[in-house]
Structure 1
């Protein structure tokens, strides 16, 4: 992807597009295409102290200047409350092809800056290549921090000691036995500790949060540039690890090759390749389980059970990462408890949180898909089947959070104070979208889970009759309870207060899952209603626009944002399920291929917006559908990738 000066005619325009790199253990690097940090989460190195969590900002940014005998030219961009540094004036282009690359021009001299994380390490390399140098000095000034990535630092609560020697800088945060190390391949290091004050983060202010912070400067590097010479300089920043490689070109080549290897045996379709590379960023190693897991979204989410299960097929199976898929299923199976799987994994000695009714049911869909892609029956029989049986039994007999099967064979869950479905926003005691009782997607997932069990037991030579009968009982009750004759679709929730007729995307799972609980004309009517009343270019609205509770803009402080989160905000992940449902009910339509293609085309444009090459978590419900929330979301990428490979590619 190439971006020229027309993309940063103003500073504000320049910070609208962001890039992301990840290191496979929860750490990441991200900033804007003009190099200005506009979020608390921006930084060249956010390290994971306990992979993939306990993430700390280590290196915020690098301020570069070209120093002549009587002039300084600053290449860096930032904003404080009363000043803006416009390094983007010297930025000729920005490219993002596997790694971010900035190209600056000062006179006839071109300064190329590339940023590359070292995979599996809490290290980042910043590589400068100087073309057609002018007699001058390149000054590189690191802005260092050490704080939880959710927080902000002020100089009065920061304390560092630093030592500069032999092109190395060792920085020790106060009262810590861990070190930050910087090492440069060229130049001299000058020790001059001070603070950078009041870096301002535009997007934090927009989110109703504190928006300024300070950084520590241990000193700087001066590198001599000689007329007409070509030079490459590598600066590596590491958290609590020795720096073993200081060859920037080699570091970059290794990372690019690693990413290219992910595309082996992939069709030569740029859209598909973008999705596969985007998917890689979410699959990380978890230290506490010694296995792979899935980060729900960048820059602020960690790994969550529900998100992992929904994203599972797209991220691991559609990308042929079958070992990772098996690893993830095995891990979650070992943490099953109460017939549930964790919503949040433990860190250290903490207990998992099991406050989700749907994660365990999505687990069945993941296992079924795994079998369809791999035929790994031995693994499922040996490690998974008994867990699935316990889950079914627990849902039938009842488990924590009032999760239980009722006399009509449908599942109810929760109470007025709990949020157990994916629409889980809660502010204080305010449950924004109360969905306790019998939720439509939970019972679609329940039917699917029982059908998966019938399939698995039959294929493994066990008696499946009880599962087949239960599935039929569920199906008979489902359409009778949930069918909304007036709207030609399904009620969203049924409980003691009645039947909730709000039109939401949850009902699409009744048609899209591997074993749909609704078929025939009912299914087509559901798909048509969802399309006509919820579809947008980037996903499905979480609530029909004409509903009095609809909120079309996701902006403001936490109260305002959570109040809109599932009340009209557009979500991408349900669009993947919608595409599958659409392909199912219109399978005999001669225009199916063209109609499906139209669902994917908008994301080709979105790849060049928000977080480059990825898909955002959410969008405003109102046009023009501005991207909001996490700028790169696992289940958004996963569901578009899954639907593309399962429903569209076979038609080509």
Structure 2
């Protein structure tokens, strides 16, 4: 049992509850009530955690775990943990013969906590102190004289509104509340410290709730708002029953896919990763192919694309929406092209399932794709446009436009200005897709494909050049060995290479870049190679795409690996053992049931970044489908009309 592994419960609107198996909060993002005020953005932390303990004949028995400056753990409730399970929701069994459960509803109903005795000899008195803040989820909270600890009490239910500009907190319980405000000082979040970030916080506990476990299970429901009229037992029972039914209906890894689905502007989108990302364009379109299409959620996939289709501007889709509610950021060359790939895959999946989208839906999606291609053909922001050779050029100093987008201050770590290999693969695929409904793109595709074949092969390695016409200088090439070239063979509907040329690329990537948890972003023999993703923010940004392995790239790699081997049963079996098994084992570490954002380039390949990453999990689901064709019979549209 890894006590530092993390669990996640999401509410379908950008909010979530999360923490570690030990119960210790190691990140500023660990909380029991973290809500999105402008779904899925505007996230604020309202209830950070709890102090919980039992009182029995032999004194106090802690159930919670805290860490304080300088590095003091008190209490250490994790010493009493006998077992933990993350499914169907987080559940702890303590040596004191009491269980604790935490779950969040998918419609914003709140977070439920329940404690049960498993033996008549277990202590009967439970006491819980909620620990409150009221802050942006990226920030930290310190003692102040503005915090309003005033309580509104209605039986076992109590409400607070610590700060006027934030939502109120409603705590429903079947216990008894005693008002007793106390500040708790200097909580230490050691994962934040390891990342070189501020890591100390003060929280206020306004009072204590006591429960008699001899009469009934103890129940608390945490949610936003002012309404204290609902009975805790009824609310918790309904939510527990609904979530049990929902979670028992599908495989665990498919259920994890639900965590990323979120409301946006009356439609749907996908959170890129927890705990700190919101919905990003590039991530959404890559991830949805596995998370939604790979699990038969065609209706949801359609809604996601329709939500984003209305945001095309000058041929571009936004890469992200800032938390502050300001204008979206149109700073990605590939996000818009990934939209077209995702649209193609949706229409293809719907046709295979006999669920053709309505003509109005198809017209909307195709119209967005046409606007993207028109904008790119004419030329748009950041030097993005079609060059004389038919390839897509992009970039200008100070901007990071590809998925390798690390930036520290004014330093763009991997600018890749020019014609990046994966962008050309996306561009040619998008033209091929659009050529099916409009012949005008067919000639452009043929020209781009011919230029790609002439300009990207690298005789020195047998692979492909990473960027041609670097900094828009004709003939200047970046031959750094990176994984982006794999998208010319796998990961996209139409490979640009076949036969011996494709096999050389796959073999090169396998030999130099493959790790158990993803593809390295740079060859180990490169002077800039970073074997570990660690240190402060600058050090981690420097390593982000300079060696660090990314699990999402395993999807394109496995697809390419199978293609060059004829996708035989023998090849699929070998791929299950060599490529899928380590990823499945990773589901039991780091972010439980999920796949991390990245991992160290060198053994033991420690996971890092977001412990819950959408496109990482999405590509694992896609790999499952590639290697287990019989699972396709399980895939059916699960709601609505695709």
- TM-score, structure 2 normalization: 0.92
Counterpart for residue 181 of structure 1: 170
2:479 aligned to which of 486, 501, 505? 501
* Per-residue deviation, 1:633: 0.2
Counterpart for residue 465 of structure 2: 491
Counterpart for residue 95 of structure 1: 85
Secondary structure class of the residue paired with 2:331 = coil
Counterpart for residue 392 of structure 2: 411
Counterpart for residue 439 of structure 1: 420
Secondary structure class of the residue paired with 1:578 = helix
Counterpart for residue 222 of structure 2: 237
* Per-residue deviation, 1:384: 1.7
Single out whichever of 118-127 and 321-330 deviates more from structure 2.
118-127
Task: Check conservation: 1:122, 1:241, Cα contact below 8 A.
Answer: no
Unaligned 5+ residue runs, structure 2?
633-642
Counterpart for residue 28 of structure 1: 16
Superposed CA deviations along residues 558-607 of structure 1, whole A, max 9, x for unmatched, are: 10000000000010111101111111111165621222212110122111
Pick closer, same or farther for the CA change 1:396–1:210 going to 2, 3 Å: same
1:171 aligned to which of 160, 173, 179? 160
Q: State how far apart, in whole Å, the 2-side matches of 1:381 and 1:514 are.
A: 19
* Per-residue deviation, 1:26: 0.7
Single out whichever of 237-246 and 444-453 deviates more from structure 2.
237-246
Counterpart for residue 270 of structure 1: none
* Per-residue deviation, 1:18: 0.9
Q: State how far apart, in whole Å, the 1-side matches of 2:114 and 2:20 are.
A: 17
Superposed CA deviations along residues 303-345 of structure 1, whole A, max 9, x for unmatched, are: 0001001112111111111111111111111111101111123
Q: State how far apart, in whole Å, the 2-side matches of 1:568 and 1:39 are.
A: 25
Pick closer, same or farther for the CA change 1:404–1:35 going to 2, 3 Å: same
* Per-residue deviation, 1:614: 0.4
* Per-residue deviation, 1:488: 0.5
Secondary structure class of the residue paired with 1:499 = coil
Describe how 1:5-404 pairs up with structure 2 within 5 A. Answer: 7=2, 14-15=3-4, 17-68=5-56, 71-82=59-70, 83-85=72-74, 86-106=76-96, 110-121=97-108, 123-131=110-118, 132-134=120-122, 136-156=124-144, 159-163=147-151, 165=153, 166-176=155-165, 178-186=167-175, 188-225=176-213, 229=214, 231-240=216-225, 242=227, 244=230, 246-247=232-233, 248-261=236-249, 263=250, 273-286=251-264, 289-345=265-321, 350-375=326-351, 376=356, 378-379=359-360, 381-404=362-385
* Per-residue deviation, 1:383: 1.0
Secondary structure class of the residue paired with 1:582 = helix
Q: State how far apart, in whole Å, the 2-side matches of 1:323 and 1:651 are.
A: 19
Secondary structure class of the residue paired with 2:276 = coil
Pick closer, same or farther for the CA change 1:379–1:538 going to 2, 3 Å: farther
Task: Check conservation: 1:583, 1:647, Cα contact below 8 A.
Answer: no
Q: State how far apart, in whole Å, the 1-side matches of 2:454 and 2:106 are.
A: 53
Moved over 4 A (4+): 133-136, 346-349
1:578 aligned to which of 547, 553, 557? 557
Q: State how far apart, in whole Å, the 1-side matches of 2:90 and 2:493 are.
A: 39
* Per-residue deviation, 1:647: 4.5
Task: Check conservation: 1:129, 1:230, Cα contact below 8 A.
Answer: no
Counterpart for residue 558 of structure 1: 537
Unaligned 5+ residue runs, structure 1?
8-13, 264-272, 458-462
* Per-residue deviation, 1:487: 0.4
Task: Check conservation: 1:155, 1:214, Cα contact below 8 A.
Answer: yes
Q: State how far apart, in whole Å, the 1-side matches of 2:122 and 2:8 are.
A: 32
Pick closer, same or farther for the CA change 1:234–1:590 going to 2, 3 Å: closer
Secondary structure class of the residue paired with 2:371 = helix
Counterpart for residue 470 of structure 1: 444
Counterpart for residue 601 of structure 1: 581
Q: State how far apart, in whole Å, the 2-side matches of 1:390 and 1:73 are.
A: 63
Pick closer, same or farther for the CA change 1:347–1:546 going to 2, 3 Å: closer
Counterpart for residue 635 of structure 2: none
Secondary structure class of the residue paired with 1:560 = helix
Task: Check conservation: 1:23, 1:117, Cα contact below 8 A.
Answer: yes
What is the RMSD of the two structures over their aligned residues, measured on CA atoms?
1.9
Task: Check conservation: 1:580, 1:647, Cα contact below 8 A.
Answer: no
Secondary structure class of the residue paired with 2:95 = strand
Task: Check conservation: 1:304, 1:345, Cα contact below 8 A.
Answer: yes
Q: State how far apart, in whole Å, the 2-side matches of 1:103 and 1:517 are.
A: 54
* Per-residue deviation, 1:182: 1.2
Q: State how far apart, in whole Å, the 2-side matches of 1:650 and 1:365 are.
A: 24
Pick closer, same or farther for the CA change 1:157–1:30 going to 2, 3 Å: farther
1:623 aligned onto 2:603:
yes
